[in-house]
Amino acid sequence: MQYGYFDDKKREYVITRPDTPWPWINYLGCGDFFGLFSNTSGGYCFFRDARMLRLTRYRYNNVPQDSGGRYFYLRDNAGNSADSQSVDNKSSDIWTPSWKPMKSELDRYECCHGMGYSRISSARNGLAFTQVSFVPLEDTCEIHKITLTNESKKDKNIDIFSFVEFCLWNANDDMTNFQRNFSIGEVEVHGSAIYHKTEYRERRNHYAVWSVNVPVTGFDTDRESFLGLYNGFDRPDAVFAGKANNSIASGWAPIGSHHIKARLAPGESKTYVFVLGYCENPEDQKWEKRADYGVPGVINKAPSDALLKKYSSPEAADKALADLNKYWDDLLSRFTVEAEDKKMARMAGVWNQYQCMVTFNMSRSASYFESGIGRGMGFRDSNQDLLGFVHLVPERARSRILDIAATQFPDGSAYHQYQPLTKRGNNEVGGGFNDDPLWLICGVAAYIKETGDYSILEESVPFDNNESLADSLFIHLKRSFDYTITHTGPHGLPLIGRADWNDCLNLNCFSSTPGESFQTTANFESGVAESVLIAAIFAFVGPDYVEICLRTGQQEEAERAQKAIASMIDTVNKHGWDGNWFLRAYDAHGKKIGSNECEDGKIFIESNGFAVMAGIGLDDGRAKKALDSVKEHLDTPYGIVLQQPAYREYHLELGEISSYPPGYKENSGIFCHNNPWVTIAETMLGRGGRAFETYKNICPAYREDDSQLRRLEPYVYAQMVAGKDAARFGEAKNSWLTGTAAWTFVSISQYILGVRPVFDGLLINPCIPPDMKGYSITRYFRGADYHITVDNSAGVEKGVKSIMLDGQHLKACAEGIYAGSYVLPIFGDGKVHKVDVVMG
């Protein structure tokens, strides 16, 4: 069953009923200000950091689901005149046009999630409602443009009540520290503008404003006055009374509600622009009037005045939305796909890239599965997120790389996470995740391949956020590389530390205390547990490090690195092969993990995907054997599970992986992030059909009509789909913030459709199902546009027969690392270049 459909022309997902199997959300904002926005106008917004600077409150894991948002209540006063003071409750009709929170019956409903904006349209009893919500490119606010249209034949006399509930900025404190919070809430009201200024009197120099571009009849800023102490959002006293209380919050729970009266003749429309903004003042200009005895201070409203003035008309809001549309048109014009397979085309060309922008912005902080108060930015995650983002806004990727690298320790290891506001590493989590350093090489290599900007390597970057320890970014890469080879175990494989990519393979944890963190507890520093996956990652990213050395004139270092890689591959061959697939790891006692010898957890996906990606076993049949084993033991119609058999019991020596019930998360769930590694690996074997099958199985657009089971948004990837051991096999969890976004974009764009940025140009090497007859791609790359058409009338899976570039035959590279491959040269001339690829 479907709950909506893709509108490919508009790049929107159109949700056609409000009671989706889980709130289906969108993200507003792509710079400093962000909003999470559900299909029923639920969610919240924040400035830069969802934990520290949150403007509106949200109740997670609450009943009913998705409580809190930017709500509008409508009250149709039937026969009463607009200025009538006597409101007859019986003849008036009250509803929420976004369905929630009243779950109102609507004559029609639609929510379109687009690129950085959402639009809810509904109607009830002859009154049409439209809400267009977005964050303008240049300002730190949400705009909600509301239009009411009288579609009936009679005059309508409507009350509009807006509603947002303010968060007292620090979202963690807001949910816990009531003894303080209930006394500190402060607001100001000035005309139609409601200012939330809690803690402004002391150490904050920012406030929130919630305003509308028309005069209001009344307002409320105190939650209890508006709702009634024992009411939910679905039954606000003020709305049912038809009259705001003009309440001024003092402590308790500050909110913002406007009361507007609208009289609409038949056919008439009225539009209102609501702005929810974040404003800052310089420390010495905080006050318009300082506090006095018995008189609170008056905040300096210069920034909010400017903001509200800017968006004081519907035309101004429309202009800002048009600018946002243009921004996304430009971004997505960098990589477009046309193909017969519309599902693939819309995912690769639009939604997958859109999700990459969101993961770049949010890392793993704020979603409907991540509270925004937990994790900061991950070292490993953020580096991988770059892979799917760097072609969109390379300059932002560049500064992100420098931020991440600054949290590296001098020995090459890294803080596992850092806070976006301070950009400093998190002490509570610390380091010791031994795959982390290698992802920096991976991210930097992707950046250089996209841009050709080697100057980034010369940037001076602190270690441990300490300027006095700064060195060039190149040296950071060197330390990353060396960390792996200097931290090896008994078999010569890299030590795993607290975990590798799999956060839950905690081989030195040995935790028997409930609630203890599996990631930060080390009850047994074995110095023995080793990871085959880290070895494979090393073998995959190592060659990029070698190339970077060569291209910066460091021949000797390149040779040294090359030897280290060869020796690591040797070690994997000796100690990382189990007969039919690659091993996963050795535990703290030196016992194999991911071996046929094991009772549970005999075979894992990660090491097999990555080892083949690194080219290990390609020459002697083991790569094929490994991927065949993956298919045989781990494959399902919804994707490839992480390992089999699932752990039935908790294993002290394995940690969190064995803590999950079988079929969920890292214990045999379909952990989508690693599926594209197998996709890429399959393309290395030239098996285009199988590669595409692994791509499709986890791709949400292909499961749109299965939404009741899958439950989550059909337009974005989820971190996990329950595996075959789970009761709810096929049900997805944790949509949006997952490395799946970046890696699937890499797999489809670079390895299946085969347009891959490399150091010297765009390498063309498609690997597709034989029945895919062709497709076309436009790719912006280093200052020029490449219009590429691929003709597979030959019906092959891999192999380029010829390429015509601007009407001339292109020769395959004769030598170097791309020998035998076709690489489109870098033009950088701002022109369009026509590329005709014939497979065969």
Residues that bind ligand GLC (CB under 6 A): 364, 378, 380-381, 501-504, 519, 656, 665-666, 673, 719, 738-739
Integer angstrom CA distances of residue 478 from 205, 441, 567? 42, 9, 17
Query: What radius of gyration do the chain's Cα atoms show?
Result: 28
C-beta of 284 vs 649, nearer to ligand GLC: 649
Query: Is 544 among the catalytic positions?
Result: no
For residue 406, the minimal CB distance to ligand GLC (Å) is: 19
**Residues in CB range of 455: below 8 A, 6 or more apart:** none
Distance of CA 405 to the CA centre of its chain: 21
C-beta of 12 vs 381, nearer to ligand GLC: 381
Integer angstrom CA distances of residue 95 from 76, 104, 105, 441? 9, 6, 8, 54
Can you spell out the DSSP letters for 766-822? -B--TT--EEEEEEEETTEEEEEEEE-TT--SB-EEEEEETTEEPPPP-SSTTTTSE
Residues 669 and 502: their CA atoms lie apart, in Å, by 12
665 — phi, psi (to 5°)? 50, -140
413's torsion region: left (phi>0), alpha (psi -120 to 50) or beta? beta
HSE-CB of 475 using CA atoms within 13 angstroms:
14
For residue 743, the minimal CB distance to ligand GLC (Å) is: 11
Tokens of 370: 């991540």
- Per DSSP, 488 falls in state B
For residue 511, the minimal CB distance to ligand GLC (Å) is: 13
For residue 370, the minimal CB distance to ligand GLC (Å) is: 9
For residue 520, the minimal CB distance to ligand GLC (Å) is: 9
Closest CA to 762 of 813, 691, 796, 799: 813
Is residue 29 within 8 A of residue 143, CB to CB? The reply is: no
Residues 631 and 641: their CA atoms lie apart, in Å, by 10
For residue 378, the minimal CB distance to ligand GLC (Å) is: 5
Catalytic residue among 435, 503, 725, 760: 503
Preceding omega of 101 cis (within 30 degrees of 0): yes
For residue 531, the minimal CB distance to ligand GLC (Å) is: 13
C-beta of 361 vs 502, nearer to ligand GLC: 502
For residue 725, the minimal CB distance to ligand GLC (Å) is: 16
C-beta of 38 vs 734, nearer to ligand GLC: 734
HSE-CB of 361 using CA atoms within 13 angstroms:
26
C-beta of 233 vs 501, nearer to ligand GLC: 501
C-beta of 150 vs 384, nearer to ligand GLC: 384
Is residue 773 within 8 A of residue 796, CB to CB? The reply is: no
Residues 386 and 442: their CA atoms lie apart, in Å, by 9
C-beta of 502 vs 595, nearer to ligand GLC: 502
Is residue 254 within 8 A of residue 287, CB to CB? The reply is: no
Task: Using DSSP, state whether 348 is helix, strand or coil.
Answer: helix
C-beta of 84 vs 517, nearer to ligand GLC: 517
C-beta of 346 vs 673, nearer to ligand GLC: 673
Residues 494 and 540: their CA atoms lie apart, in Å, by 14
For residue 75, the minimal CB distance to ligand GLC (Å) is: 45
- Closest residue to ligand GLC: CB criterion: 503
Which residues carry out catalysis? Answer: 503
